[in-house]
Structure 1
Amino acid sequence: MGYKVGVVSQKGGVSKSTVARAIATTYAAADWNVKVADLDINQATTFTWLQRRLKRDIAPVVAVETFGTVGQALKVADNYDLMVFDGAPHANRATAEIAQAVDLLVIPTGLSLDDLEPTVTLANTLVEKHGVPVERIAIVLSKVGDSAVELDEARTYLGHTPYHVLPGQIPEKTAFRRAQDGGLSIVETPYRGPRETADKMVQAIIDRLEELTN
Protein backbone atom coordinates (compact mmCIF):
# COMPACT_ATOMS: atom_id res chain seq x y z
CA MET A 1 0.00 0.00 0.00
CA GLY A 2 1.45 3.34 -1.05
CA TYR A 3 1.47 6.64 0.80
CA LYS A 4 -1.04 9.36 -0.02
CA VAL A 5 -0.51 13.11 0.37
CA GLY A 6 -3.15 15.69 -0.46
CA VAL A 7 -2.59 19.36 -1.26
CA VAL A 8 -5.75 21.46 -1.10
CA SER A 9 -6.84 25.03 -0.57
CA GLN A 10 -9.90 27.14 0.13
CA LYS A 11 -8.98 29.54 -2.68
CA GLY A 12 -6.71 29.67 -5.70
CA GLY A 13 -3.33 31.33 -6.03
CA VAL A 14 -1.69 30.03 -2.84
CA SER A 15 0.87 27.68 -4.46
CA LYS A 16 -1.19 24.48 -4.12
CA SER A 17 0.03 22.91 -7.37
CA THR A 18 3.53 24.27 -6.75
CA VAL A 19 3.68 22.27 -3.52
CA ALA A 20 2.23 19.14 -5.12
CA ARG A 21 4.82 19.20 -7.90
CA ALA A 22 7.67 19.78 -5.47
CA ILE A 23 6.64 16.81 -3.35
CA ALA A 24 6.28 14.57 -6.38
CA THR A 25 9.61 15.44 -7.98
CA THR A 26 11.48 15.10 -4.69
CA TYR A 27 10.22 11.57 -4.11
CA ALA A 28 10.66 10.64 -7.77
CA ALA A 29 14.29 11.77 -7.59
CA ALA A 30 14.71 9.23 -4.76
CA ASP A 31 13.49 6.47 -7.12
CA TRP A 32 9.97 6.29 -5.76
CA ASN A 33 7.19 5.43 -8.20
CA VAL A 34 5.08 8.59 -7.96
CA LYS A 35 1.86 9.79 -9.50
CA VAL A 36 0.15 13.16 -9.18
CA ALA A 37 -3.64 13.04 -9.38
CA ASP A 38 -4.67 16.36 -10.93
CA LEU A 39 -8.25 16.86 -9.75
CA ASP A 40 -8.74 20.27 -11.36
CA ILE A 41 -10.48 19.06 -14.50
CA ASN A 42 -11.25 22.60 -15.67
CA GLN A 43 -7.69 23.92 -15.74
CA ALA A 44 -5.50 20.79 -15.31
CA THR A 45 -2.44 23.00 -14.77
CA THR A 46 -0.30 20.19 -13.37
CA PHE A 47 -1.07 18.02 -16.37
CA THR A 48 -0.01 20.82 -18.74
CA TRP A 49 3.11 21.32 -16.57
CA LEU A 50 3.88 17.64 -17.22
CA GLN A 51 3.62 18.23 -20.97
CA ARG A 52 6.23 20.97 -20.71
CA ARG A 53 8.40 18.61 -18.67
CA LEU A 54 8.07 15.80 -21.22
CA LYS A 55 8.89 18.08 -24.14
CA ARG A 56 12.19 18.94 -22.46
CA ASP A 57 12.87 15.29 -21.50
CA ILE A 58 13.36 16.23 -17.85
CA ALA A 59 14.23 13.53 -15.34
CA PRO A 60 13.05 12.10 -13.04
CA VAL A 61 9.85 10.88 -14.61
CA VAL A 62 6.74 11.98 -12.73
CA ALA A 63 3.42 10.53 -13.79
CA VAL A 64 0.47 12.95 -13.82
CA GLU A 65 -3.09 12.00 -14.61
CA THR A 66 -6.29 14.03 -14.55
CA PHE A 67 -9.12 12.42 -12.64
CA GLY A 68 -12.76 13.45 -12.56
CA THR A 69 -13.31 12.11 -9.06
CA VAL A 70 -11.25 11.25 -6.00
CA GLY A 71 -12.68 7.74 -6.12
CA GLN A 72 -11.17 7.16 -9.57
CA ALA A 73 -7.77 8.26 -8.31
CA LEU A 74 -7.98 6.06 -5.24
CA LYS A 75 -8.59 2.98 -7.39
CA VAL A 76 -5.04 3.23 -8.76
CA ALA A 77 -3.30 4.86 -5.78
CA ASP A 78 -1.86 1.64 -4.41
CA ASN A 79 -0.08 0.98 -7.71
CA TYR A 80 2.36 3.71 -6.69
CA ASP A 81 4.76 4.25 -3.82
CA LEU A 82 3.27 7.72 -3.42
CA MET A 83 0.22 9.43 -4.85
CA VAL A 84 -0.07 13.19 -4.51
CA PHE A 85 -3.61 14.55 -4.77
CA ASP A 86 -3.57 18.03 -6.33
CA GLY A 87 -7.01 19.37 -5.46
CA ALA A 88 -9.15 21.94 -7.21
CA PRO A 89 -8.32 25.63 -6.60
CA HIS A 90 -11.25 25.97 -4.20
CA ALA A 91 -12.80 23.81 -1.53
CA ASN A 92 -15.53 21.43 -2.66
CA ARG A 93 -16.84 17.96 -1.84
CA ALA A 94 -13.72 16.40 -3.35
CA THR A 95 -11.59 18.38 -0.88
CA ALA A 96 -13.20 16.50 2.01
CA GLU A 97 -12.82 13.20 0.18
CA ILE A 98 -9.12 13.86 -0.31
CA ALA A 99 -8.70 14.85 3.34
CA GLN A 100 -10.37 11.67 4.53
CA ALA A 101 -8.27 9.42 2.30
CA VAL A 102 -4.72 10.72 2.66
CA ASP A 103 -2.00 10.14 5.25
CA LEU A 104 -1.11 13.85 5.27
CA LEU A 105 -3.09 16.87 4.10
CA VAL A 106 -1.07 19.98 3.22
CA ILE A 107 -2.85 23.34 3.02
CA PRO A 108 -0.74 26.19 1.61
CA THR A 109 -1.66 29.72 2.60
CA GLY A 110 -0.49 33.24 2.01
CA LEU A 111 0.25 35.61 4.88
CA SER A 112 -2.66 38.03 4.69
CA LEU A 113 -5.82 37.56 6.72
CA ASP A 114 -7.64 37.16 3.42
CA ASP A 115 -5.65 33.93 3.03
CA LEU A 116 -5.18 32.84 6.64
CA GLU A 117 -8.82 33.08 7.71
CA PRO A 118 -10.18 30.91 4.86
CA THR A 119 -7.36 28.42 5.47
CA VAL A 120 -8.30 27.99 9.12
CA THR A 121 -12.00 27.85 8.21
CA LEU A 122 -11.27 25.04 5.75
CA ALA A 123 -9.23 23.10 8.30
CA ASN A 124 -11.93 23.55 10.94
CA THR A 125 -14.61 22.32 8.54
CA LEU A 126 -12.60 19.24 7.60
CA VAL A 127 -12.10 18.35 11.26
CA GLU A 128 -15.51 19.25 12.68
CA LYS A 129 -17.77 18.26 9.79
CA HIS A 130 -15.83 15.52 8.03
CA GLY A 131 -13.95 13.86 10.87
CA VAL A 132 -10.42 14.46 9.61
CA PRO A 133 -7.91 14.04 12.48
CA VAL A 134 -6.36 17.34 13.51
CA GLU A 135 -2.83 15.94 13.41
CA ARG A 136 -3.21 14.94 9.77
CA ILE A 137 -3.44 18.59 8.66
CA ALA A 138 -0.26 20.60 8.01
CA ILE A 139 -0.16 24.23 6.92
CA VAL A 140 2.65 25.66 4.80
CA LEU A 141 3.23 29.40 4.38
CA SER A 142 3.62 30.41 0.75
CA LYS A 143 4.22 33.46 -1.43
CA VAL A 144 6.18 34.98 1.42
CA GLY A 145 7.67 38.42 0.86
CA ASP A 146 10.67 40.04 2.52
CA SER A 147 8.89 41.16 5.71
CA ALA A 148 10.00 39.13 8.74
CA VAL A 149 7.34 40.90 10.79
CA GLU A 150 4.55 39.77 8.48
CA LEU A 151 5.87 36.20 8.55
CA ASP A 152 6.05 36.21 12.35
CA GLU A 153 2.52 37.59 12.59
CA ALA A 154 1.19 34.83 10.35
CA ARG A 155 2.91 32.15 12.43
CA THR A 156 1.54 33.73 15.61
CA TYR A 157 -1.98 33.75 14.15
CA LEU A 158 -1.74 30.08 13.20
CA GLY A 159 -0.17 29.29 16.55
CA HIS A 160 -3.56 29.93 18.13
CA THR A 161 -5.05 27.06 16.10
CA PRO A 162 -4.57 23.31 16.71
CA TYR A 163 -2.93 22.75 13.33
CA HIS A 164 0.68 21.84 12.64
CA VAL A 165 2.47 24.68 10.85
CA LEU A 166 5.42 23.42 8.85
CA PRO A 167 8.84 25.02 9.30
CA GLY A 168 10.15 26.78 6.24
CA GLN A 169 8.09 28.62 3.64
CA ILE A 170 7.79 29.32 -0.07
CA PRO A 171 8.99 32.82 -0.90
CA GLU A 172 7.71 34.78 -3.87
CA LYS A 173 10.53 34.19 -6.37
CA THR A 174 10.90 34.74 -10.10
CA ALA A 175 13.18 31.68 -10.08
CA PHE A 176 10.25 29.51 -8.98
CA ARG A 177 7.91 30.83 -11.65
CA ARG A 178 10.52 30.40 -14.36
CA ALA A 179 11.30 26.86 -13.22
CA GLN A 180 7.67 25.79 -13.48
CA ASP A 181 7.24 27.53 -16.82
CA GLY A 182 10.01 25.21 -18.07
CA GLY A 183 8.52 22.01 -16.66
CA LEU A 184 10.64 21.96 -13.49
CA SER A 185 9.44 22.04 -9.90
CA ILE A 186 10.66 24.61 -7.41
CA VAL A 187 13.14 22.10 -5.94
CA GLU A 188 14.70 21.82 -9.41
CA THR A 189 15.42 25.50 -10.04
CA PRO A 190 19.08 26.00 -10.99
CA TYR A 191 19.47 28.83 -8.46
CA ARG A 192 20.97 27.55 -5.23
CA GLY A 193 19.37 29.90 -2.71
CA PRO A 194 15.76 29.44 -3.83
CA ARG A 195 16.34 25.72 -4.36
CA GLU A 196 17.60 25.25 -0.81
CA THR A 197 14.59 27.14 0.52
CA ALA A 198 12.24 24.89 -1.45
CA ASP A 199 14.13 21.79 -0.31
CA LYS A 200 13.65 22.81 3.32
CA MET A 201 9.91 23.15 2.84
CA VAL A 202 9.59 19.75 1.17
CA GLN A 203 11.79 18.11 3.79
CA ALA A 204 9.40 19.41 6.45
CA ILE A 205 6.54 17.70 4.60
CA ILE A 206 8.54 14.47 4.36
CA ASP A 207 9.36 14.59 8.06
CA ARG A 208 5.71 15.17 8.98
CA LEU A 209 4.55 12.29 6.77
CA GLU A 210 7.06 9.99 8.43
CA GLU A 211 5.91 11.09 11.89
CA LEU A 212 2.33 10.22 11.04
CA THR A 213 2.96 6.90 9.31
CA ASN A 214 5.77 5.32 11.36
Structure 2
Amino acid sequence: MTKKGILTVALKIGFATQKGGPGKSTDARGTAVGFAQNGWAVKIADFDLNQSTSTRWLQRRLTRGHKPEVSVEQFGSMAHALARADDYDVIIFDGAPRASKDTAAMAEACDLLVIPTGLSVDDLDPAVELADALHFKHGIPIERIAFALNHVGDSMAELEEAQEYLSQKPYHVLAGYLPQKVSYSRAMDIGLSVIEVSHKGLRAQAEQLISSIIKRATALQSK
Protein backbone atom coordinates (compact mmCIF):
# COMPACT_ATOMS: atom_id res chain seq x y z
CA MET A 1 0.00 0.00 0.00
CA THR A 2 1.19 3.53 -0.78
CA LYS A 3 2.08 5.52 2.32
CA LYS A 4 1.71 9.22 2.96
CA GLY A 5 5.47 9.53 3.00
CA ILE A 6 5.17 9.37 -0.79
CA LEU A 7 1.65 10.71 -1.20
CA THR A 8 0.85 14.09 0.39
CA VAL A 9 -2.95 13.84 0.16
CA ALA A 10 -4.82 11.72 2.67
CA LEU A 11 -6.82 8.74 1.47
CA LYS A 12 -10.49 9.39 2.21
CA ILE A 13 -13.11 6.67 2.75
CA GLY A 14 -16.71 7.34 3.73
CA PHE A 15 -19.36 5.06 5.23
CA ALA A 16 -22.97 6.10 4.80
CA THR A 17 -26.43 4.58 5.10
CA GLN A 18 -29.97 5.58 4.26
CA LYS A 19 -31.24 3.92 7.44
CA GLY A 20 -29.65 2.95 10.73
CA GLY A 21 -28.46 -0.51 11.68
CA PRO A 22 -26.58 -2.14 8.76
CA GLY A 23 -23.12 -2.01 10.34
CA LYS A 24 -21.74 1.30 9.11
CA SER A 25 -19.60 1.98 12.17
CA THR A 26 -18.58 -1.68 12.35
CA ASP A 27 -17.08 -1.48 8.85
CA ALA A 28 -15.52 1.93 9.51
CA ARG A 29 -13.73 0.70 12.64
CA GLY A 30 -12.52 -2.48 10.96
CA THR A 31 -11.16 -0.47 8.04
CA ALA A 32 -9.40 1.96 10.36
CA VAL A 33 -7.72 -0.86 12.27
CA GLY A 34 -6.79 -2.60 9.01
CA PHE A 35 -4.89 0.45 7.82
CA ALA A 36 -3.33 1.03 11.25
CA GLN A 37 -2.06 -2.56 11.35
CA ASN A 38 -0.09 -1.73 8.21
CA GLY A 39 1.51 1.37 9.68
CA TRP A 40 -0.84 4.05 8.38
CA ALA A 41 -1.80 6.99 10.61
CA VAL A 42 -5.61 6.84 10.74
CA LYS A 43 -8.37 9.10 11.99
CA ILE A 44 -12.07 8.25 12.14
CA ALA A 45 -14.25 11.34 11.77
CA ASP A 46 -17.35 10.54 13.84
CA PHE A 47 -20.43 12.37 12.56
CA ASP A 48 -22.86 10.67 14.95
CA LEU A 49 -23.11 13.61 17.33
CA ASN A 50 -25.99 12.14 19.33
CA GLN A 51 -24.78 8.60 20.04
CA SER A 52 -21.03 9.08 19.43
CA THR A 53 -20.63 5.34 18.87
CA SER A 54 -17.13 5.41 17.36
CA THR A 55 -15.95 7.92 19.96
CA ARG A 56 -17.20 5.68 22.78
CA TRP A 57 -15.59 2.67 21.09
CA LEU A 58 -12.23 4.48 21.10
CA GLN A 59 -12.58 5.19 24.81
CA ARG A 60 -13.02 1.47 25.46
CA ARG A 61 -10.04 0.73 23.20
CA LEU A 62 -7.80 3.21 25.01
CA THR A 63 -8.90 2.00 28.44
CA ARG A 64 -7.78 -1.53 27.57
CA GLY A 65 -4.59 -0.44 25.82
CA HIS A 66 -5.34 -2.14 22.50
CA LYS A 67 -2.88 -1.66 19.65
CA PRO A 68 -2.53 -0.40 16.97
CA GLU A 69 -3.57 3.14 17.79
CA VAL A 70 -6.51 4.69 15.97
CA SER A 71 -7.63 8.29 16.41
CA VAL A 72 -11.31 9.25 16.57
CA GLU A 73 -12.70 12.77 16.65
CA GLN A 74 -16.24 14.11 16.44
CA PHE A 75 -17.06 16.63 13.72
CA GLY A 76 -20.19 18.62 12.98
CA SER A 77 -19.29 19.42 9.38
CA MET A 78 -17.34 18.03 6.46
CA ALA A 79 -15.40 21.28 6.17
CA HIS A 80 -13.95 20.90 9.66
CA ALA A 81 -13.12 17.24 9.10
CA LEU A 82 -11.43 17.92 5.78
CA ALA A 83 -9.34 20.66 7.36
CA ARG A 84 -7.72 17.94 9.50
CA ALA A 85 -7.57 15.24 6.83
CA ASP A 86 -4.01 15.70 5.62
CA ASP A 87 -2.62 15.39 9.15
CA TYR A 88 -3.18 11.66 8.63
CA ASP A 89 -2.50 9.03 5.99
CA VAL A 90 -6.15 7.99 5.99
CA ILE A 91 -9.31 9.69 7.21
CA ILE A 92 -12.43 7.58 7.54
CA PHE A 93 -15.77 9.33 7.66
CA ASP A 94 -18.26 7.47 9.87
CA GLY A 95 -21.38 9.23 8.65
CA ALA A 96 -24.50 10.15 10.57
CA PRO A 97 -26.95 7.26 11.29
CA ARG A 98 -29.11 8.28 8.33
CA ALA A 99 -28.27 9.98 5.07
CA SER A 100 -28.62 13.76 4.94
CA LYS A 101 -27.51 16.62 2.75
CA ASP A 102 -24.05 16.23 4.28
CA THR A 103 -23.81 12.69 2.86
CA ALA A 104 -23.40 14.08 -0.66
CA ALA A 105 -20.62 16.38 0.52
CA MET A 106 -18.91 13.41 2.13
CA ALA A 107 -19.22 11.33 -1.04
CA GLU A 108 -17.79 14.17 -3.14
CA ALA A 109 -14.72 14.35 -0.90
CA CYS A 110 -14.07 10.60 -0.74
CA ASP A 111 -11.98 8.30 -2.87
CA LEU A 112 -14.47 5.58 -1.95
CA LEU A 113 -17.97 5.74 -0.46
CA VAL A 114 -19.09 2.47 1.15
CA ILE A 115 -22.78 1.75 1.70
CA PRO A 116 -23.23 -1.16 4.13
CA THR A 117 -26.47 -3.13 3.84
CA GLY A 118 -28.19 -6.18 5.21
CA LEU A 119 -29.73 -8.81 2.96
CA SER A 120 -33.44 -8.06 3.27
CA VAL A 121 -35.31 -5.98 0.72
CA ASP A 122 -35.98 -3.50 3.54
CA ASP A 123 -32.21 -2.94 3.69
CA LEU A 124 -31.27 -3.35 0.04
CA ASP A 125 -33.81 -0.96 -1.45
CA PRO A 126 -32.79 2.05 0.69
CA ALA A 127 -29.11 1.26 0.06
CA VAL A 128 -29.62 1.31 -3.71
CA GLU A 129 -31.77 4.45 -3.45
CA LEU A 130 -28.91 6.20 -1.65
CA ALA A 131 -26.40 5.08 -4.28
CA ASP A 132 -28.71 6.25 -7.07
CA ALA A 133 -29.22 9.64 -5.42
CA LEU A 134 -25.48 10.12 -4.98
CA HIS A 135 -24.73 9.18 -8.58
CA PHE A 136 -27.66 10.57 -10.57
CA LYS A 137 -28.46 13.63 -8.45
CA HIS A 138 -25.04 14.59 -7.12
CA GLY A 139 -22.77 13.24 -9.85
CA ILE A 140 -20.66 10.88 -7.74
CA PRO A 141 -18.88 8.53 -10.19
CA ILE A 142 -20.23 4.98 -10.18
CA GLU A 143 -16.81 3.44 -9.51
CA ARG A 144 -16.49 5.38 -6.25
CA ILE A 145 -19.62 3.83 -4.73
CA ALA A 146 -19.50 0.32 -3.26
CA PHE A 147 -21.83 -1.94 -1.27
CA ALA A 148 -20.72 -3.99 1.75
CA LEU A 149 -22.87 -6.92 2.85
CA ASN A 150 -23.32 -7.19 6.63
CA HIS A 151 -25.46 -9.09 9.13
CA VAL A 152 -25.44 -12.18 6.95
CA GLY A 153 -27.32 -15.10 8.50
CA ASP A 154 -27.00 -18.83 7.95
CA SER A 155 -28.99 -18.89 4.70
CA MET A 156 -26.68 -18.98 1.69
CA ALA A 157 -29.76 -18.69 -0.52
CA GLU A 158 -30.55 -15.30 1.00
CA LEU A 159 -26.94 -14.18 0.50
CA GLU A 160 -26.96 -15.29 -3.13
CA GLU A 161 -30.27 -13.53 -3.75
CA ALA A 162 -28.89 -10.28 -2.32
CA GLN A 163 -25.72 -10.59 -4.41
CA GLU A 164 -27.81 -11.24 -7.52
CA TYR A 165 -30.00 -8.22 -6.72
CA LEU A 166 -26.97 -5.94 -6.39
CA SER A 167 -25.27 -7.41 -9.46
CA GLN A 168 -28.05 -5.90 -11.54
CA LYS A 169 -27.04 -2.43 -10.34
CA PRO A 170 -24.08 -0.52 -11.78
CA TYR A 171 -22.19 -0.21 -8.50
CA HIS A 172 -19.31 -2.26 -7.11
CA VAL A 173 -20.09 -5.02 -4.59
CA LEU A 174 -17.19 -5.63 -2.24
CA ALA A 175 -15.79 -9.12 -1.86
CA GLY A 176 -16.58 -10.89 1.38
CA TYR A 177 -19.30 -10.21 3.93
CA LEU A 178 -19.82 -10.02 7.68
CA PRO A 179 -21.84 -12.83 9.26
CA GLN A 180 -24.27 -12.03 12.06
CA LYS A 181 -22.18 -13.24 15.01
CA VAL A 182 -22.13 -12.35 18.70
CA SER A 183 -18.32 -12.52 18.67
CA TYR A 184 -18.16 -9.36 16.57
CA SER A 185 -20.38 -7.30 18.86
CA ARG A 186 -18.57 -8.60 21.95
CA ALA A 187 -15.23 -7.59 20.43
CA MET A 188 -16.45 -4.04 19.84
CA ASP A 189 -17.80 -3.93 23.40
CA ILE A 190 -14.18 -4.08 24.58
CA GLY A 191 -12.75 -1.69 22.00
CA LEU A 192 -11.68 -4.20 19.36
CA SER A 193 -12.73 -4.35 15.71
CA VAL A 194 -14.15 -7.21 13.71
CA ILE A 195 -10.69 -8.08 12.37
CA GLU A 196 -9.38 -8.49 15.92
CA VAL A 197 -11.76 -11.18 17.19
CA SER A 198 -10.12 -14.18 18.81
CA HIS A 199 -12.02 -16.71 16.68
CA LYS A 200 -9.70 -17.43 13.74
CA GLY A 201 -12.44 -18.25 11.22
CA LEU A 202 -14.52 -15.16 12.02
CA ARG A 203 -11.41 -13.00 11.94
CA ALA A 204 -10.55 -14.31 8.48
CA GLN A 205 -14.12 -13.71 7.34
CA ALA A 206 -13.99 -10.09 8.46
CA GLU A 207 -10.51 -9.59 7.00
CA GLN A 208 -11.80 -10.55 3.56
CA LEU A 209 -14.33 -7.71 3.56
CA ILE A 210 -12.03 -5.15 5.15
CA SER A 211 -9.21 -6.05 2.75
CA SER A 212 -11.61 -5.55 -0.14
CA ILE A 213 -12.46 -2.07 1.12
CA ILE A 214 -8.80 -1.15 1.55
CA LYS A 215 -7.77 -2.48 -1.86
CA ARG A 216 -10.65 -0.74 -3.62
CA ALA A 217 -9.94 2.62 -1.97
CA THR A 218 -6.18 2.58 -2.59
CA ALA A 219 -6.68 1.54 -6.20
CA LEU A 220 -9.10 4.40 -6.80
CA GLN A 221 -6.81 6.96 -5.19
CA SER A 222 -3.88 5.87 -7.33
CA LYS A 223 -5.78 6.51 -10.58
SS in 1 for 2:143: helix
Spell out structure 1 runs of 4+ moving beyond 2 A.
Answer: none
1:207 matches 2:199:
no
Give the Cα–Cα distance (whole angstroms) in 2 for the partners of residues 213 and 79 of structure 1.
17
Q: What is the match of residue 160 of structure 1?
A: 168
- Which residues of structure 2 form unaligned runs of 5+? 1-8
Q: Name the SS for the 2:169 alignment partner.
A: coil
Name the structure 2 match of 1:186.
194
1:122 and 1:101 mapped to 2: Cα distance?
A: 16
> 1:4-28, CA deviations, whole angstroms, 9 ceiling, x for partnerless residues?
0001111111000000000001111
Deviates more, 1:201-210 or 1:103-112: 201-210
Does residue 9 (structure 1) correspond to residue 8 (structure 2)? The answer is no
**Is 1:106 aligned to residue 105 of structure 2?**
no
Percentage of pairs with the same residue: 51
What residue number does 2:89 align with? 81
SS of match in other structure, 2:178: strand
Give the distance between the partners of 1:171 and 1:151, measured in 2 at CA: 10
Aligned-partner Cα distance in 2 for 1:213–1:132: 15
Shift of 1:34: 0.4
Deviations 1:19-48 (A, max 9, x none): 000000111111111000001111110000
Partner of 2:6: none
Q: Partner of 1:60 in structure 2? A: 68
Q: What whole-Å deviation, never above 9, does each CA across 1:115-168 have from its counterpart, x for those lacking one?
A: 000000000000111111010001010000010100000011111110000110
Pick the structure with more strand per residue. Answer: 1
Amino acid corresponding to residue 15 of structure 1 in structure 2:
G
Q: TM-score, normalised by structure 1?
A: 0.99
Q: C-alpha separation between the residues in 1 aligned to 2:63 and 2:221?
A: 36
Q: Which residue of 2 aligns with 1:26?
A: 34
Unaligned 5+ residue runs, structure 1? none
- Cα pair 2:35 2:214 within 8 Å, conserved: no
Task: Tell me how far 1:70 sits from its aligned partner.
Answer: 1.1
Structure 1 residue 206: Cα displacement: 1.5
Alignment match of 2:180 (pick from 140, 151, 172):
172
Count of paired positions: 214
How far off is 1:210 after superposition?
2.6
- Note if contact 2:184-2:193 (Cα within 8 Å) is conserved in structure 1: yes
Q: Distance in 2 between matches of 1:130 and 1:74?
A: 19
Query: Which string of whole-angstrom CA distances, capped at 9 and with x for unpartnered residues, describes residues 151-190 of structure 1?
Result: 0000111111100001100110111010000000000111
